Amino acid sequence: MKIEDFVSAIEAYVLNAAVESTVSMLRQPPGRRVDPGLAARSEWFSLLSDTDVEMVCAVIHEAASSAVFGFLVVLDGARVIDDEKGTFELYYVGREKNLLNPPDIALHEFLR
């Protein structure tokens, strides 16, 4: 797996999936005993105009993008999360073993 493929997969299967899942739960909460908070948000969401629904979906996408971007920044070592200031090495192991976050490459720059 190449770096570009990894970031594209994260975008599709993490970022976009989180947005779709969140919007889906707002439209129709799952389960028989829906969490009261989720039920209230779903009811509120169902009363929004089409324009407001689009705006809420855009905000959800922005939040998911920000979270994924921040995580990639941590993997890149540009955002420190510990006192030791250690680094992360992310490998994809398939037919070959590939380092996906070498020091000279910034994963977050590949996120669209």
Does residue 112 register a pLDDT over 90?
no
**Pairing mode of beta strands 97-99, 91-93:** antiparallel
State pLDDT tens for residues 54-88: 999 999 999 999 999 999 999 999 999 999 989 99
**8 Å CB contact between 76 and 108:** yes
Residue with tokens 């770096």: 3
pTM: 0.89
